[in-house]
Chains A and B, each alone.
Chain A
Amino acid sequence: MNRVVVTGLGCITPIGNTIEDFRTSLFTSATGIAPFPPYPEAPGPTQGLRFTQTAAVKNFDPADHLASGIIAATDRTAHFAIVAARQAALLSGFLDHHAKDDIAIIVGCACAGRQSEETETIKLYGRDARVHPLTVTRTMASAGASHISIDLGITGPVLNISTACSSATHAIGQAFHMVRHGIVSAAITGGHEAPLTFGFLRAWDSMRVVSPTQCQPFAANRDGMTLGEGGAMFVIETLESAQARNATIYAEIVGFGMSADAHHITQPAPDGAASAMRKALKDANASPEDVTYINAHGTGTQANDATEAAAIHQLFGSLGSQIPISSTKSLHGHSIGATGAIEALATIIALHEQQLPANAGVTEVDPTLNLDVILNTPRQSEQKIALSNSLAFGGLNAVLALRHHLL
């Protein structure tokens, strides 16, 4: 089996549209959560919403990056995908060293071209107007994956994975296994999502899981999640190919675990999350004692954070309260199909720099969770194995095990 390493990083996120800006925000706890402007289609000043903030991508104009025809044929979500993938490919410099049909593209996107779908639906049902002839290409969930392929000329296996909030983590895990088993020699993988439409916000508001203020993972007074958008992409390849071309290695992916709760469409269960973490460690041939950081799913809802803590205690026993843990969602929000990739990016940067990001925006941790939540400032810490958890609605769990590349 091949060892698999990360040699390229790219991102368009609410806390930075370059890796450098993302890193700065990550370690200074500069949140991307902010009030959103009124939606023109929304009735009344409150817009029928109990919350006023989201984590939106800022200062991103697709015309700075993409041809007009591509912009016309795509939704905002694909813009994030293409630009983040370009960044990762450029940073890695891997394209000249792998046959184009020996590279995979495996990305996560759950909400597809939501903005285009909603725009055209309003026109159609609201005033019987004609639908734009590029609506189909804009709303395909696989459009981001296809456009990365077209943009970079990659002709190997190309897939989009849709597993709600675990989409990107499932995608990275699948890409990891494909490279590890020699199905391809390299892959572009990650996730992208642009779901911040008025209809999407109203749908989540109706579930009463969105914070009226902002997401505070693991806080005693946590009151829900904050919705976000963005994308993060990685180049992964065999250790052998990375070393042969003297590439910079940001981290090694050593394990991947998946499970299903088989329990409830919205309520998580600890057994499923614990199983996915256990399988990731087994896949990594590692033990619970090797884990030095957990980047939590940590949505800031009562149910998720309590269940995730219970799963950690179930798997790690007495170590559960001693492993440093943080959720970075209070910085970049919850971007559904992309969030696992953005959190994997935070985890990879943490491993690379031996510095763990703080669980921003929280001053008092829920004592009943009994976790070592990193508060206020980043923590310097020699790292071995880090886990990045994604626990989706529907009980679909995916966990990556990553390792500092010099170990």
Chain B
Amino acid sequence: MEDIAKHCIEIIAKAKSIPEDTITLDSTFDQLNVDSLDKINISFEVEEAFGIEIPDEALGSIKTVGDMVNGVQKLVAAKPSIPTP
């Protein structure tokens, strides 16, 4: 969970060009001035970083960084494990 949160915060900080320590799990995207274009960009970067696909219906309900981290955690946990040879 901590690793996922850290990585999500890194992605948001990079996309918004703001320091990571200004972002907490309680930060709302409105507080971070994340507009609709930022949200599309950040969601894609998160999907790429974790190898997941955020469902369309989930995108609209993500209001805080914590919401995003929780969602990513569930999607990562649901990923099929890679079979070992």
Chain A residues within CB distance 8 Å of chain B: 63, 67-70, 72-73, 130, 132-134
Task: Given contacts A132-B41, A134-B41, list 20 more A-B pairs with CB under 8 A.
Answer: A63-B17, A67-B35, A68-B16, A68-B41, A69-B35, A69-B36, A69-B37, A72-B15, A72-B40, A72-B41, A73-B37, A73-B41, A130-B44, A130-B47, A130-B48, A132-B44, A133-B40, A133-B41, A133-B43, A134-B40
Chain B residues within CB distance 8 Å of chain A: 15-17, 33-38, 40-41, 43-44, 47-48
- CA–CA, A69 to B34, complex, Å? 8
B40 touches A68 (CB 8 A): no
23 A–B contacts from the bound complex (CB under 8 Å): A63-B17, A67-B35, A68-B16, A68-B38, A68-B41, A69-B34, A69-B36, A69-B37, A69-B38, A72-B15, A72-B37, A72-B38, A72-B40, A73-B40, A130-B47, A130-B48, A133-B40, A133-B41, A133-B43, A134-B37, A134-B40, A134-B41, A134-B44
Across the two chains, which residue of chain A brings its CB closest to B17?
A63
Minimum C-beta distance from A78 to chain B (A): 13
- Give chain B's interface secondary structure class: helix
Residue of B15, B36, B41 ringed by the most chain A CB atoms within 10 A: B41
Q: Which 6 A-B pairs have the closest CB atoms?
A: A69-B37, A72-B41, A69-B35, A69-B38, A73-B37, A68-B16
**Chain B residues with Cβ under 8 A from A133's Cβ?**
40-41, 43-44
A68 touches B17 (CB 8 A): yes
- CA–CA, A132 to B17, complex, Å? 19
- CA–CA, A68 to B17, complex, Å? 7
Across the two chains, which residue of chain B brings its CB closest to A72?
B41
Minimum C-beta distance from B14 to chain A (A): 9
- CA–CA, A134 to B44, complex, Å? 9
**Chain B residues with Cβ under 8 A from A134's Cβ?**
37, 40-41, 44
Minimum C-beta distance from A138 to chain B (A): 11
**Chain A residues with Cβ under 8 A from B43's Cβ?**
133
- CA–CA, A73 to B41, complex, Å? 8
Across the two chains, which residue of chain A brings its CB closest to B40?
A133
**Chain A residues with Cβ under 8 A from B44's Cβ?**
130, 132-134
Across the two chains, which residue of chain A brings its CB closest to B43?
A133
Minimum C-beta distance from A52 to chain B (A): 32
Minimum C-beta distance from B34 to chain A (A): 8
**Chain B residues with Cβ under 8 A from A68's Cβ?**
15-17, 38, 41
